[in-house]
C-alpha cells in the first residue's frame, strides 16, 4: 500500500467549439493546457475512504463512479484536494478534478496507467468536449475531432507542444460565472442552426493557421489566428451568450485589450475567463499591469501563466 499518492494537473483553456450539426461529429474544437491555476490532490492511508478539502462533494461523486466502473470497493484512504481552480470559470475544473481522482485512485490501487479514454469513461467525462481529457494526459495544444453518437470520447486530431517562452494572461471580472452542467446542456440545445460552411471555416483556421503557427513558433501569426478562431467560434454560440463573448462586460474588455495592441485575445469556453496570448513573460507582466489600471471593469482577477506541455503528474511514494 502506498504511503502517499500525489496528483498535480494543469488547467484547460478552450479556444472554442466547432458548431453543432444535425449529423456527423459533434463538439470538436481546440484548446490548450496551462500551468496555473493548477489542481493538486493527495491520497494517504485512512480507516475508510474519505474525501476532504475543496470540492469534496464532487470528489465523492467521481470516486463512486470510478468504483462502480472498476467493480471494486473504494480503498481505505483519505483523498484531499490541496488546491483547485475556481469552478464554472471556463478552466475545465470539473474534468481535471474527475480525471485526477481516477488517476489517483488507480495509482493507489496499483492499476496500470490508463489511456485518456479509460480515465474519462471511468468517471463519466468526455460527453461533450475532449480537450481537457487529452490535455490532462498529454498537455500542449489539443485539437479534437468531435464525437459521433456512439463514441464515448471524441478522437484526438492532433497535439502540438506550445513554445515554453509564450505566456497567457488570464483576466476574469468579478461577479460573473460561466455555464456548466444542465444549464450548459440547455443552452447548447437551444442554439441557432449554423451553416456547415462555418464549421469548415473554423477547421481550416485551426489546421492551416493556428496549429502551424504554434508548431513553427510564429507568435504573430498564432495570436491573430487565435483571435479569428475564437471570435468566429463565439458567434456560433451567440444566441446562448448574447454575442461572440458572454455578455457586454467581456465584449468591452476584449475590445479594450485588442485596442492596446494585444492581438491574441479570446474567451475560454463560456467564460468568464478571458485569455491573452503573449510572446514572453515581460510582455505578459506589462499587460497585467495595464489591466490592473482598468478600474472601470470592477474587480478583475488577473494572473500570468505558462503553457503546460506535460499534462498531469502522478507521484507514488511507497513505504
Q: Which value, in Å, is the radius of gyration of the alpha carbons in the chain?
A: 19
- Complete DSSP assignment for 177-240: ----HHHHHHHHHTPPP--HHHHHHHHHHIIIIIHHHHHTT-HHHHHHHHHHHHHHHHHTTHHH
Classify burial at 247, counting beta carbons within 10 Å of its beta carbon; exposed 0-12, middle 13-18, buried 19 or more.
middle
Task: Determine what percent of the chain is predicted with pLDDT higher than 90.
Answer: 82
User: What is the distance between the terminal CA atoms of the chain, rounded to a whole angstrom?
Assistant: 8
Number of residues that make up the chain: 319
* Domains of the chain (ranges, CATH numbers): 2-162+308-318 (3.30.230.10), 167-305 (3.30.70.890)
- Given a cut of 70, the residues of the chain with pLDDT beneath it are 21-23, 178-193
Q: DSSP secondary-structure letter at 297?
A: G
Q: Report cis status (omega within 30 of 0) of the bond before 241.
A: no
What is the per-residue pLDDT across 177-213, written as a single tens digit (0 to 9) for each?
765 666 666 666 666 667 788 889 999 999 999 999 9
Strand, coil or helix: what is 18? coil
Strand, coil or helix: what is 250? helix
Q: CA angle, 169 as apex, 85 and 256 as ends, to 5°?
A: 120
Tell me what pLDDT residue 194 has: 73
Asked whether the beta carbons of 235 and 251 are under 8 A apart, the reply is: no
Q: DSSP secondary-structure letter at 104?
A: H
What is the per-residue pLDDT across 24-50, written as a single tens digit (0 to 9) for each?
788 899 999 999 999 999 999 999 999
Tell me what pLDDT residue 301 has: 97
Query: Which pTM does this prediction carry?
Result: 0.94
Give the integer Cα–Cα distance in Å for 243 and 236.
9
Tell me what pLDDT residue 22 has: 57
Amino acid at each position: 500500500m502506498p504511503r502517499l499518492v500525489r496528483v498535480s494537473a494543469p488547467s484547460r483553456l478552450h479556444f472554442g467549439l466547432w458548431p453543432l450539426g444535425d449529423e456527423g461529429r459533434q463538439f470538436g474544437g481546440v484548446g490548450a493546457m496551462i500551468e496555473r491555476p493548477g489542481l493538486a490532490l493527495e491520497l494517504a492511508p485512512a480507516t475508510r475512504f474519505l474525501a476532504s478539502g475543496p470540492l469534496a462533494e464532487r470528489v465523492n461523486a467521481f470516486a463512486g463512479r470510478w468504483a462502480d466502473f472498476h467493480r471494486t470497493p473504494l480503498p481505505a484512504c483519505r483523498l484531499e484536494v490541496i488546491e483547485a481552480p475556481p469552478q464554472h470559470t471556463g478552466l475545465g475544473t470539473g474534468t481535471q478534478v474527475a480525471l485526477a481522482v481516477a488517476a489517483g485512485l488507480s495509482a493507489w490501487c496499483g492499476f496500470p496507467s490508463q489511456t485518456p479514454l479509460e480515465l474519462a469513461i471511468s468517471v463519466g467525462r468526455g460527453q461533450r468536449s475532449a480537450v481537457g481529457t487529452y490535455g490532462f494526459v498529454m498537455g500542449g495544444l489539443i485539437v479534437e475531432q468531435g464525437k459521433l453518437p456512439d463514441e464515448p470520447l471524441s478522437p484526438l486530431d492532433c497535439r502540438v507542444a506550445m513554445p515554453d517562452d509564450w505566456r497567457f494572461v488570464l483576466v476574469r471580472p468579478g461577479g460573473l460565472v460561466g455555464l456548466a452542467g444542465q444549464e450548459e446542456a440547455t443552452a447548447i440545445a437551444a442554439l441557432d442552426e449554423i451553416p456547415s460552411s462555418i464549421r469548415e471555416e473554423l477547421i481550416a483556421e485551426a489546421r492551416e493557421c493556428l496549429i502551424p503557427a504554434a508548431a513553427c513558433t510564429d507568435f504573430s501569426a498564432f495570436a491573430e489566428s487565435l483571435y479569428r478562431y475564437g471570435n468566429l467560434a463565439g458567434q456560433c454560440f451567440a444566441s446562448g451568450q448574447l454575442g461572440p463573448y458572454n455578455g457586454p462586460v467581456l465584449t468591452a474588455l476584449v475590445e479594450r485589450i485588442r485596442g492596446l495592441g494585444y492581438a491574441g485575445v479570446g474567451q475560454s469556453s463560456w467564460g468568464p475567463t478571458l485569455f491573452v496570448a503573449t510572446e514572453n513573460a515581460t510582455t505578459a507582466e506589462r499587460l497585467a499591469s495595464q489591466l490592473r489600471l482598468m478600474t472601470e471593469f470592477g474587480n478583475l482577477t488577473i494572473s500570468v501563466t505558462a503553457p503546460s506541455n506535460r499534462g498531469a503528474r502522478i507521484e507514488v511514494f511507497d513505504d
